[in-house]
Amino acid sequence: MKKIAIISLVSTLLIGFQLTAQQESPLIEKQNMTLTSDLMTPEVLWSFGRVSDPQASPDGKTILFGVSYYSIEQNKGNRELYTVHVAGGEPNRLTKTAKSEYNAIWRPDGKKIGFLTSESGSVQLWEMNPDGSDKKQISAIEGGITGFKYAPDQTKVLFTKEVVLENKFASLYKDLPLATGRLMNDLMYRHWDEWVDTYSHVFIAEYDGHALSNEMDIMEGQPYQSPLKPFGGIEQIAWTPDSKAVAYTCKKLSGKKASLSTNSDIYLFDLGSKFTTNLTQGMMGFDVAPSFSPDGNYMAWESMERDGYESDKNRLFLLDLKTGKKTDATEKFDQNVGDITWTPDSKNIFFMSDWHGSFQIYQFNLPKVTIDQVTKGVQDYHAITQAGKLLVTTKQTMSFPTELFTIDPKTGTSTQLTFTNKELTAQLAMGKTEERWIKTFDGEDMQVFVIYPPHFDPKKKYPAILYCKGGPQGPLSHDFHYRWNYQIMAANGYIIVAPARRGVSGFGQAWQEQISGDYHGKSMQDYLTAIDELSKEPFVDSERLGAIGASAGGYAVYYLAGHHDGRFKAFIAHDGIFNEEAQYLETEEMWFENWDKGGPYWDKKNKIAQEAYAHSPHKFVDKWDTPILIIHGEKDYRVVFTQGMTAFNAAILRDVQAEFLYFPDENHWVLKPQNGILWQRTFFQWLDRWLK
């Protein structure tokens, strides 16, 4: 299911796993590997170093970043910190421990680097010199902290930590210490992959350059989250340039109301008066990620307009702090906005946006009120930070894992800064990625990515896989994914067909919105059109086609299983929606179901909803006749694991060849290395069985 900031989500989940799994364990580092084949394998995929979170030093000369490596044997990962000069050169390793370091940032004076680690038994704030020496623990917060930011004047630090939710029924448990039952009387009692026993709050502490003291919960007594789980991080909280106030993102709703609404706001807490002001009062959609101009005159943030619609256009909004005027800077810009970054002179804002299958950097000029595209090309850029006259960002493609690049904002020219995986990628043959545009059944132009096997021979015939994107909204771009990786699929001898069907972002809001209330209609026709068109190629064996997908892509697989007219010989559905009526009552974010399905299935007068539920995949099991592999994690609370279990049971009862790969400890993703490799092995064993 789609959310706003998928990249930060996966990073957060991986870090959380690392911290809990690595109390006393051997150091996990980059391994020098000599491959016996030039084809990608699951083991090779898990050997890549994962580069993330570049942070420019205050003088703009040095970039701080992290790299995560994973041990298959230990079944966990570890993240270390590095710096590299913005002009290039060999990175300098700052940490070398068996416990991950993350949320690493420069102190405003540039003399220290602050970071979080669990070295002391709980996650605390540590500092070190820019060369990695003199590491010292700065905080000793009970229960640990989850994120932090220095005040610009360095006199304070804001941090986030989990606060235990009050048990409304505590009197019933007072003499029952071994009782495991959970009693609840409202919704949102669990979310994504955790039971809601705590909520994150924002705290402010005094900082003397050596330690934190006098911590204050600026949300004391409020049963609300900041930042917003599970995707929000410390980027949803910001200091004002004068260090006198803190802006934080929060949805001040609970229970059923929180489940039905996406209405988050940005609140400003004044340290002097202790007074809190809602800066986005009356704006009813997601309002997140405040960012103040260096001169203190403006606040920029990401804003969605409509309550209940999590895939609404993500706009760049500006608040004039002197006049109170709010401006939609992207009113005429039919694209989404993310990763807002101010220039030092407060005259420009850089941001990311996806368009036609790639994420590019754009620039909004405040005086001219114009938006210009800075970068072009076939890639995904993310995570902008300004380093002097240059931008530093991460870059990836379908065949290139993330590395750091500098960007000249005047020309858009990029220069590679880190080469973390150079030795490994040099040994691998990557398949060609091709962009095609085809006509849909109703005459629209649709982008389709085709990924060919390495050493492709056009004289041969290859089996092909239709990739059904999840979401259902959101980008289908040049992501180097560590599970749904196009190159590893191609390396196993398959041609991959990935259509940007109705619902995909980056083609205007109208294209994206066509899937809401219509999962079964135009998007399904788009899938079939894409695979039919590619099947006409002489190198595609139309008798050996498969369809795969996760989440809403899993829905697509289940639906196509009953509507494919014999096209496919194998299906794979991961964490997919099988029974829409059950999904409506099993999931936790009710706003999603109400918007995308039109409402509850019992509303007989609601034609949109009734049409959606009438096409629930489970109602077409009588037409299933094709082998299907089903995968699901028990900790997935967005699409509950019983969706996969019932689909598997239905297949077996129908005498359809089926397998069910069940993970008791995974959520909507598969994050543990050994589980990830088991996933890949099962995935390809199934495809090879039926398509080769």
The set of catalytic residues is: 551, 636, 668
**Cis peptide bond prior to 26, omega within 30° of 0:** no
| Stretch (H or E) spanning 545 | strand 540-550
Paired strand residues for 288: 302
- Rounded to 10°, the helix 607-614/590-597 angle is 100
- Do residues 245 and 269 lie in contact, with contact meaning Cβ atoms separated by under 8 Å? yes
Residues 6+ apart with CB under 8 A from 55: 63, 64, 65, 104, 105, 106, 385
- Do residues 658 and 652 lie in contact, with contact meaning Cβ atoms separated by under 8 Å? yes
Closest CA to 326 of 283, 291, 365, 364: 283
- Do residues 376 and 413 lie in contact, with contact meaning Cβ atoms separated by under 8 Å? no
* CA 318 to the chain's CA centroid: 25
Residues 6+ apart with CB under 8 A from 654: 621, 622, 624
Whole-number Å distance between alpha carbons of 103 and 96: 16
Six token digits for residue 527 = 């899938």
Neighbouring CB atoms inside 10 A of 315's CB total 20
| Stretch (H or E) spanning 81 | strand 76-85
**Burial class, 174, CB count within 10 angstroms (exposed 0-12 / middle 13-18 / buried 19+):** exposed
Q: What are phi and psi of 235, to 5 degrees?
A: -65, -10
Neighbouring CB atoms inside 10 A of 522's CB total 18
**Cis peptide bond prior to 227, omega within 30° of 0:** yes
- Do residues 668 and 633 lie in contact, with contact meaning Cβ atoms separated by under 8 Å? yes
Query: What is the DSSP code (8-state) at residue 621?
Result: G
| Stretch (H or E) spanning 608 | helix 607-614
Six token digits for residue 101 = 């370091």
Give Rg (Cα) of the chain: 25
